[in-house]
Structure 1
Amino acid sequence: MTKRKPVVAANWKMNGDRRLVDDLMNTFQGSAIFQQVEVVLSTPATLLDYSQQQRQNACPEIVLAAQNMSHLDSGAHTGELSAQMFKEVGCDWVYCGHSERRHVYGESSKLTAKKFVQAKEAGLVPVLCVGETEEERQKGKAFSRLTSQIEAVINLAGKDCFEGALVAYEPVWAIGTGNPATPEIAQEAHKFIRGMIAAMCAETADSVRILYGGSVKPENAQALFSQPDIDGGLIGGAALKPEQFMSICQAAVGQ
């Protein structure tokens, strides 16, 4: 099995300001953590240009990610932002299908798949976010839900679509609730996802990094990240506190 470099990604959602960007950059500047962990920052779109400037000055190792993007190139789409626009301000990655986009804003798996393809074509690294609701898990439909979300991408992009991409497993019932999935439950889901990819391409399945998202904190990060198929985390609330975010990154070193 290849050694996959762990990833710890900050998703600030609709939070943060320039001062918080500065605080995070100051916390990570000169750190040796970048040698062992890929650190990702995803701010609101209005902060991306400033974040790009600050990372160039202080932490060029940080990966910059967009929280969401349009599946279209350009045109009369008021309020939308394209992949090329994100690339222009320095983004390297983009999240596709975050649970809030799916469950709050009603974005379908088909639309998410279009965004995934658009990102790859534009040269951005897509992070496909998948996960089930509490009701789906209680009814024993967690794996079927994951299957439908992943198959939507495969059907549109082809069986080798996860080469050069990432997946994030985000159980909706754990996000922002303070009740994360247990390491065992998270590992079971990650193993299932890797198995789906392996059925198409074993080499890609071995190398693709699958992140866990859902109430990750410094106190539980190491237990989650020590699971064999969990390659890091997609961090929400704790990412708004640079010292906590650094502690989570340090927890990933033990993989």
Structure 2
Amino acid sequence: MRIILSTFKNSLIEAWTNRRSFWLQVSIMLANDLVWVLFWILFFERVSTVRGWDRSRVLLLFAILTTVAGISLGLLANARKIGQLSAGGELDAALALPIHPLAFLLVRRVDTGLLGDLFFGPILFVLAGEPTLERTAIFIFGSLCGAAVLVGFLVAIGALTLLIGGTGEQADLGFKTILILASYPVDVFGGATKLLLFTAVPAAFISGLPTRLIDDWQWTTAAALLTAALLFASLGVALFNLGLHRYSSGARWTRA
């Protein structure tokens, strides 16, 4: 645990070293998020609701999504790069350490730009999410569960590179797909697509269910969200461990 915390601390320090670049990248992401908020505000000026979702609920969904992205893709930036690192034979340094290589890889790199999401999400929740003590606690719970689902999913599809080969293309495709689907209210979709959001591409657990919990707490929904977080996190670890047995060293002692 000490090694993990030390590595994570060094990653944060490294990201903060060039402060001008840090704030520039964060500002760009904040501006990008703000454009999305303006889009939804203008959209709901013309359309009052979309299948039960109004402006306030969609902004709440976006607050959760950006917070989840900030945690999963900002703080744990290598979650989406497991496939690329595996294909390039760049896991050697992690395998030589006395800790689980996946834990080291996840905290080894921070994406400065996506930290903007981590700043933006909670701010948007405070401004548009009608925060109370109870709603704030559920927001934190939902964001952490959503992050666990997203990280587990990204690690799992990245680990497929270890199992079936390739250069990690499926990880990039899965990453783009799940973020696009999680950006929209889950009730917009129907039929097979909606089933997909609760199974193979678990976008519903990243933003849709956490939003529903904040507006209407149900123990069954909370249990489903927590179960999904545990299942996908476990799936990611299991597939990564399985894939390590087929990993071929690239003799590259990189920073991962």
TM-score in same-fold range (> 0.5): no
Q: TM-score, normalised by structure 1?
A: 0.27
Q: TM-score, normalised by structure 2?
A: 0.27
Larger RCO of the pair (alpha carbons < 8 Å, separation 6+): 2
Give 1 or 2: higher helix fraction.
2
Give 1 or 2: higher strand fraction.
1
* Pair member with larger Rg: 2
